[in-house]
C-alpha cells in the first residue's frame, strides 16, 4: 500500500456517507470493488452516478433515524 493510499483511504472512509459499504454488505461484495466501480462509472458517465450516490446517502440516513426513533433535528 502506498503512502497516498494510506492517507486518502481513511479520510474517504471517515467522511463518506457509507453508501458503498452499505451496498457491498447488502450484495455480498467487496467494499473496495464497489467503490472502484462507482468511481469508474462516474468518470465514464461524467459524474451522473453522483446523483444516485447522494440520493442513496440521503435514504440511508433517513432510514437510520427511523429505525432508532430519533428526531430529525
Kindly report, residue by residue over 12-54, the tens digit of the pLDDT: 666 677 888 888 899 999 988 888 888 888 889 988 888 888 8
Closest CA to 59 of 35, 26, 13: 26
The secondary element (H helix, E strand) that includes residue 35 is helix 31-44
pLDDT at 12: 67
pLDDT at 57: 86
Whether the pLDDT of residue 4 is over 70: the answer is no
Quickly list H helices, the chain.
3-15, 19-27, 31-44, 49-68
Domain positions in the chain are 18-68
pTM over 0.75, yes/no: no
User: Which cell is 69 given?
Assistant: 426513533
Whether the pLDDT of residue 67 is over 70: the answer is yes
Amino acid at each position: 500500500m502506498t503512502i497516498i493510499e494510506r492517507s486518502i483511504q481513511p479520510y474517504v472512509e471517515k467522511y463518506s456517507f457509507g453508501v458503498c459499504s452499505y451496498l457491498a454488505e447488502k450484495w455480498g461484495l467487496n467494499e473496495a470493488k464497489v467503490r472502484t466501480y462507482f468511481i469508474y462509472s462516474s468518470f465514464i458517465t461524467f459524474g451522473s452516478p453522483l446523483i444516485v450516490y447522494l440520493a442513496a446517502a440521503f435514504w440511508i440516513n433517513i432510514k437510520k433515524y427511523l429505525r432508532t426513533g430519533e428526531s430529525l433535528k
